[in-house]
RNA sequence: GCCGCAGUAGCUCAGUGGUAGAGCGCACCCUUGGUAAGGGUGAGGUCGGGAGUUCAAUCCUCCCCUGCGGCACCA
């Protein structure tokens, strides 16, 4: 029999007969390793203990101590065990796919009746039964015809389709535990009993399209989470509770920031507190834009369809536009308008006023542009995904030769803004030319190179999204990571060769002739609504002092202090601090609790002592101890804290 | 848009085929209390909208709206 050589992680090699399995290799090393082993990595591939190795390879044997591999097996086996549990409980339910996802797994089923929360409990119980059976897991490779026939015989049409999708030359692998069988690329545990029975939980059931396509049948997806230990599961559930406490919809209510109601779905009613955040952020962005050479404009909300037809939005974007029919009393015919979903066409119209010289380029035109888009109802989510929003939008009209420098300048501005707003790190994604595109390859070459060079020059690395660019040009996307590890794509810069052409924007160059400018669409926050939502969740409502909606509440302890409370409040307001007096007939405990829940960063308590000494007792949010200081010192200190970071 | 679930007082929620309840909040009164909920009294609801079944619907059925969780979407 042929021999192969396997190299171990410590660098040593040993010979084995070809076709040896990791299980046999482990047994050859020690009995205890054979018992503990769960899988192997063979030449970089996560390998089942029972798959034969037929060529020279590197090998590492894994035990439950190897995080990544253990979790993959646990979650993958959980998905299969869940599918088996479902089919045992409800024979006839059709199975589809069940992959591992972050923190867990899911499996999609085709079943007429919806699964209920009670069903999830029953499935969990059945899964524990299956785990306790400790059924050995076995695997075989089948040929395609046999697999197809098998799934036709067992009335599993989705599996038939999956078998058909497996590329030629890739093994069609079947797995069994007990009598239950599934098509699966593996690897899996050796027995169902290796799955920790107390460290998984089925979380929810939701609809999902077969193969992710909205034209295909809607399946029922059951999501679960799974870990190695009961404690890990508990920690995860605690984390979910913490995330829920940060939910901007909940904090928006608790902090009295905004509300939404069914008469205006997807649109925000900003309350005074929330609007304080909004204006503080907008004032800040306006200063940044001025400092970075932008001019600010403002353009109409309701615009005749002729402009949208010219820009191409009418054809490509109409289903997302709020169309407005204006039936003017004296007009001969109705005019059909749309609320602007984007600002770019209006900005081009401003650019087109008068003749522009090459000397005016690059022209950076910014607008806090209020846009309306008819988003699908299922997409709406608090203030994060809305139908009415305001972008920190700008368009840079320039020449091809400007793209690189403008991109570099933009990335610098964006990184300074993110840093000021509490996000030190961000990721850059670069999307290059899609299949369907406008413009010559030559122009795309130049634009893509310019974006890459500018990103390099600014000192950032990017990940490539091949073919994900817009049809009108390549784009950069900037992704923030929040305090609990979630990614948010906020900033973007897109090169556009098409719109200036469609709307016939031109400038006069050195040669005295008209030339087309290139447009760079760019945003840093994205929309104020969404970004404020992100800020709220990132800081769990405890915004940096300069952005806090109410920065200070001055609370009286006894009513004899009321006059001094109002004096302190007035002094703080005069110093530019958002301060409020609380002289209600309530105990200080009550006031402290209420304003703490409301995430007010500084609470001043004023009693008889403070009145007599002209001091204040300062309590910072989240701290138990208090500090007594004199009024002037406090005002000076808080004035500095209230100053936005760019003005310090 | 699709699948599922939900909608009862400002908020969180309980409840019933015979037109409703709690806690918090709110108003008023007592209380002037020293750093996360002092006490009392009271007001407050077309039970999301419409249609149907029924002697009778907040409750059962259907349609619609909105929200929630996913999916799809985010050019």
Q: What is the pLDDT of residues A543-584, one digit of tens each?
A: 999 999 999 999 999 999 999 999 999 999 999 999 999 999
Cα angle at A151 between A148 and A153, to 5 degrees?
105
Q: Is the dihedral of CA A60, A61, A66, A69 positive or negative?
A: positive
| Final residue before a domain boundary, out of A521, A539, A557 | A539
> In this structure, is the CB of residue A211 within 7 Å of any atom belonging to strand B?
no
CATH number at residue A508: 3.30.930.10
> How many other C-beta atoms can be found within 10 angstroms of the C-beta atom of residue A155?
10
| pLDDT value, residue A118 | 81
> In this structure, is the CB of residue A218 within 7 Å of any atom belonging to strand B?
yes
Within a domain: residue A250?
no
**Same-domain status, A395 and A277:** yes
Q: Which residue has the tokens 């559930």?
A: A237
A78 is an annotated ligand-binding site residue: no
**Same-domain status, A439 and A468:** yes
| pLDDT value, residue A573 | 96
Containing structural domain, residue A519: 259-539
Residue A648: pLDDT band with limits 50, 70, 90: confident
Taking 90 as the threshold, does the pLDDT of residue A223 lie above it?
yes
Concatenated DSSP letters for A334-391? Answer: -EEEEE-S-SHHHHHHHHTSSPEEGGG-SEEEEEEEEEE----GGG-BTTTB-SEEEE
| pLDDT value, residue A330 | 63
Question: Residues A271-318: pLDDT tens digits?
Answer: 999 999 999 999 999 999 999 999 999 999 999 999 999 998 998 888
Contact in structure between A584 and A594 (CB atoms under 8 Å): no
Structure tokens at A489: 């794509």
Strand B-proximal residues of A, range 42-101, CB below 7 A, are none
Report how far apart, in Å, the C-alpha atoms of A178 and of each of A22, A141, A193 are: 22, 18, 12
- The ipTM value here is 0.93
Within a domain: residue A253?
no
Strand B-proximal residues of A, range 391-420, CB below 7 A, are none
| pLDDT value, residue A21 | 92
Taking 80 as the threshold, does the pLDDT of residue A70 lie above it?
yes
> In this structure, is the CB of residue A623 within 7 Å of any atom belonging to strand B?
no
Within a domain: residue A249?
no
A59 CA → B20 C1’, Å: 70
**Same-domain status, A31 and A98:** no
Within a domain: residue A50?
yes
Which residues fall within 8 angstroms of residue A449, CB to CB, at 6 or more apart? none
A377 CA → B4 C1’, Å: 15
> In this structure, is the CB of residue A346 within 7 Å of any atom belonging to strand B?
no
DSSP letter, residue A136: B
Beta bridge partners of residue A368, listed in sequence order: A392
Within a domain: residue A105?
yes
**Same-domain status, A196 and A317:** no
By CB neighbour count within 10 A (0-12 exposed, 13-18 middle, 19+ buried), where does A600 fall? buried
Average pLDDT over residues A228-244: 90
SS3 label, residue A431: strand
A177 is an annotated ligand-binding site residue: no
CATH number at residue A112: 3.30.980.10
Taking 80 as the threshold, does the pLDDT of residue A144 lie above it?
yes
| pLDDT value, residue A113 | 84
**Same-domain status, A490 and A556:** no
Report how far apart, in Å, the C-alpha atoms of A74 and of each of A3, A189, A231, A606 are: 33, 8, 15, 58
**Same-domain status, A493 and A584:** no
| Final residue before a domain boundary, out of A48, A63, A78 | A63
Rounded-to-integer distance, Cα A126 and Cα A137, Å:
18
Which residues fall within 8 angstroms of residue A539, CB to CB, at 6 or more apart? A422, A483
> In this structure, is the CB of residue A376 within 7 Å of any atom belonging to strand B?
yes
Q: Which long-range contacts (CB under 8 A, 24 or more apart) does A610-615 make?
A: A610/A561, A610/A564, A611/A560, A611/A561, A611/A564, A614/A564
Q: Is the dihedral of CA A285, A480, A270, A521 positive or negative?
A: positive
A601 CA → B12 C1’, Å: 26
| pLDDT value, residue A328 | 67
Question: Residues A405-453: pLDDT tens digits?
Answer: 999 999 999 999 999 999 988 999 999 988 888 888 888 888 899 899 9
A346 is an annotated ligand-binding site residue: no
Residue with CA nearest to B5's C1' atom: A116
| Final residue before a domain boundary, out of A499, A516, A539 | A539
Concatenated DSSP letters for A182-244? Answer: EE------SBGGGS-TTSEEEEEEEEEEGGG-TTSPEEEEEEEEE-SSHHHHHHHHHHHHHHH
| pLDDT value, residue A332 | 65
Q: Is the dihedral of CA A402, A403, A405, A410 positive or negative?
A: positive
Contact in structure between A51 and A23 (CB atoms under 8 Å): no
Beta bridge partners of residue A183, listed in sequence order: A174
| pLDDT value, residue A26 | 92
Q: Which nucleotide is nearest to A371 (CA to C1')?
A: B74
**Same-domain status, A119 and A190:** yes
Percent of chain A scored above 70 by pLDDT? 99
| pLDDT value, residue A471 | 83
| pLDDT value, residue A622 | 87
> How many other C-beta atoms can be found within 10 angstroms of the C-beta atom of residue A505?
22
Residue A467: pLDDT band with limits 50, 70, 90: confident
Average pLDDT over residues A64-77: 93
| pLDDT value, residue A505 | 95
A541 CA → B74 C1’, Å: 26
Rounded-to-integer distance, Cα A113 and Cα A93, Å:
10
Average pLDDT over residues A223-247: 91
Taking 90 as the threshold, does the pLDDT of residue A360 lie above it?
yes
Q: Which nucleotide is nearest to A382 (CA to C1')?
A: B67
| pLDDT value, residue A239 | 87
**Same-domain status, A286 and A334:** yes
Residue A331: pLDDT band with limits 50, 70, 90: low
SS3 label, residue A332: coil
> In this structure, is the CB of residue A471 within 7 Å of any atom belonging to strand B?
yes
| pLDDT value, residue A240 | 87
Taking 90 as the threshold, does the pLDDT of residue A490 lie above it?
yes
Taking 80 as the threshold, does the pLDDT of residue A87 lie above it?
yes
A254 CA → B11 C1’, Å: 9
Residue with CA nearest to B33's C1' atom: A587
DSSP letter, residue A647: G
Q: Which long-range contacts (CB under 8 A, 24 or more apart) does A180-185 make?
A: A180/A80, A180/A83, A180/A84, A180/A87, A180/A88, A182/A80, A182/A83, A182/A84, A182/A95, A183/A147, A183/A151, A183/A159, A184/A76, A184/A80
Q: Which long-range contacts (CB under 8 A, 24 or more apart) does A631-636 make?
A: A631/A568, A631/A571, A634/A604, A635/A571, A635/A572, A635/A575, A635/A577, A636/A575
Q: What is the pLDDT of chain A when averaged over all its residues?
A: 92
Within a domain: residue A209?
yes
SS3 label, residue A142: strand
Average pLDDT over residues A156-170: 91
What are the φ/ψ torsions at residue A425 (nearest 5 degrees)?
-115, 145
Rounded-to-integer distance, Cα A323 and Cα A303, Å:
10
Q: Which nucleotide is nearest to A116 (CA to C1')?
A: B4
Question: Residues A522-540: pLDDT tens digits?
Answer: 999 999 999 999 999 999 9
> In this structure, is the CB of residue A306 within 7 Å of any atom belonging to strand B?
no
Rounded-to-integer distance, Cα A545 and Cα A552, Å:
9
Percent of chain A scored above 90 by pLDDT? 79
A261 CA → B60 C1’, Å: 29
Structure tokens at A648: 């310090």
Beta bridge partners of residue A618, listed in sequence order: A604, A627
> In this structure, is the CB of residue A592 within 7 Å of any atom belonging to strand B?
yes
Question: Residues A20-41: pLDDT tens digits?
Answer: 999 999 998 988 998 899 999 9
Question: Residues A588-643: pLDDT tens digits?
Answer: 999 999 999 999 999 999 999 999 999 999 999 989 899 999 999 999 999 999 99
Structural domain count, chain A: 4
Structure tokens at A411: 């990335």
A397 CA → B69 C1’, Å: 43
**Same-domain status, A33 and A158:** no
> In this structure, is the CB of residue A556 within 7 Å of any atom belonging to strand B?
yes
CATH number at residue A28: 3.10.20.30
A114 CA → B16 C1’, Å: 27
Structure tokens at A57: 């390879």
Among candidates A346, A369, A351, A353, which has minimal Cα distance to A361? A351
Within a domain: residue A532?
yes
Residues of A annotated as catalytic (active site), given as ranges: 344, 373, 391, 393, 395, 475, 521
| pLDDT value, residue A499 | 92
Which nucleotides of strand B lie within 7 A of protein CB? Answer: 1-5, 7, 11-12, 30-38, 65-75
**Same-domain status, A35 and A75:** no
**Same-domain status, A263 and A234:** no
| pLDDT value, residue A438 | 80
| pLDDT value, residue A570 | 97
A82 CA → B26 C1’, Å: 50
> In this structure, is the CB of residue A214 within 7 Å of any atom belonging to strand B?
yes
Taking 80 as the threshold, does the pLDDT of residue A468 lie above it?
yes
Q: Which nucleotide is nearest to A384 (CA to C1')?
A: B74
Q: Which nucleotide is nearest to A206 (CA to C1')?
A: B70
Strand B-proximal residues of A, range 600-619, CB below 7 A, are 603, 605, 607-610, 617, 619
> In this structure, is the CB of residue A463 within 7 Å of any atom belonging to strand B?
no
Which residues fall within 8 angstroms of residue A381, CB to CB, at 6 or more apart? none
**Same-domain status, A515 and A641:** no
| pLDDT value, residue A1 | 66
């Amino acid at each position: 029999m042929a021999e192969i050589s396997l190299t171990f992680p410590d660098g040593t090699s040993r010979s084995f007969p070809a076709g040896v399995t990791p299980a046999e290799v482990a047994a050859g090393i020690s009995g205890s390793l054979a018992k503990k082993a769960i899988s192997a990595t063979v030449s970089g591939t996560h390998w089942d203990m029972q798959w034969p190795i037929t060529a020279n390879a590197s090998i590492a044997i894994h035990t439950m101590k190897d995080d990544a591999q253990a979790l993959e097996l646990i979650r993958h086996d959980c998905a299969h065990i869940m599918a088996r549990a479902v089919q045992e409980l409800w024979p006839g339910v059709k199975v589809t796919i069940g992959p591992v996802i972050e923190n867990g797994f899911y499996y999609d089923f085709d079943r007429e009746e919806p699964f209920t929360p009670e069903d999830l409990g029953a499935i969990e119980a059945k899964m524990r039964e299956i785990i306790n059976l400790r059924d050995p897991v076995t695997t075989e490779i089948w040929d395609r015809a046999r697999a197809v026939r098998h799934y036709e015989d067992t009335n599993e049409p989705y599996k038939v389709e999956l078998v058909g999708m497996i590329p030629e030359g890739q093994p069609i692998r079947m797995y069994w535990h007990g009598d239950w069988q599934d098509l699966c690329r593996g690897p899996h545990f050796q027995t169902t009993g290796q799955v920790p029975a107390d460290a998984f939980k089925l979380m929810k059931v939701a609809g999902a399209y077969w193969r992710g396509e909205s034209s295909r049948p809607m399946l029922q997806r059951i999501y679960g989470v799974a870990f190695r230990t009961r404690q890990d599961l508990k920690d995860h559930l605690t984390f979910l509770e913490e995330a829920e406490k940060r939910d901007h919809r909940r904090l928006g209510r608790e902090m009295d920031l905004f509300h939404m109601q069914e008469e205006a779905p997807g649109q925000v009613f900003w309350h005074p507190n929330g609007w304080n955040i909004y204006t503080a952020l907008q004032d800040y962005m306006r200063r940044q834009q001025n400092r970075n050479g932008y001019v600010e404009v403002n353009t109409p909300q309701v615009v005749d369809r002729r402009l949208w037809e010219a820009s191409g939005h009418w054809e490509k974007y109409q289903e997302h536009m709020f169309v407005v029919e204006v039936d003017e009393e004296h007009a001969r015919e109705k005019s059909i308008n749309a609320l602007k979903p984007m600002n770019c066409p209006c900005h081009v119209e401003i650019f087109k006023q008068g003749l522009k010289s090459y000397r005016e380029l690059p022209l950076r035109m910014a607008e806090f542009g209020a846009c309306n888009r008819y988003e699908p109802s299922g997409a709406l989510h608090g203030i994060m995904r809305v139908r009415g929003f305001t972008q920190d939008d700008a368009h840079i009209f320039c020449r091809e030769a400007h793209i690189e420098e403008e991109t570099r300048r933009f990335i610098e501005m964006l990184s300074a803004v993110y840093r000021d707003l509490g996000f030190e790190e961000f990721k850059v994604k670069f999307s290059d030319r899609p299949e369907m595109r406008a413009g010559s390859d030559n122009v795309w070459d130049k634009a893509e190179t310019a974006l890459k060079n500018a990103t390099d020059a600014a000192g950032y690395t990017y990940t490539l999204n091949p073919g994900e660019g817009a049809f009108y040009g390549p784009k950069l996307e900037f992704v923030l990571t929040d305090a609990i590890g979630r990614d948010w794509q906020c900033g973007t810069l897109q090169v556009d060769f098409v719109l200036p052409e469609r709307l016939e924007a031109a400038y006069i160059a050195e040669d005295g002739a008209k030339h087309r400018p290139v447009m760079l669409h760019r945003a840093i926050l994205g929309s104020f609504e969404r970004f404020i939502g992100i800020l709220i969740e990132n800081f769990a409502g405890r915004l940096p002092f300069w952005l806090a909606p109410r920065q200070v509440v001055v609370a009286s302890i006894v009513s004899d202090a009321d006059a001094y409370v109002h004096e302190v409040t007035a002094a703080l307001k005069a110093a530019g601090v958002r301060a409020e007096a609380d002289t209600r007939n309530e105990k200080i405990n009550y006031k402290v609790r209420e304003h703490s829940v409301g995430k007010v960063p500084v609470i001043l308590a004023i009693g008889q002592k403070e009145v007599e000494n002209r001091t204040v007792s300062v309590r910072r949010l989240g701290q138990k101890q208090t500090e007594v200081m004199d009024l002037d010192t406090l005002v000076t200190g808080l004035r500095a804290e209230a100053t936005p970071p760019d003005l310090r």
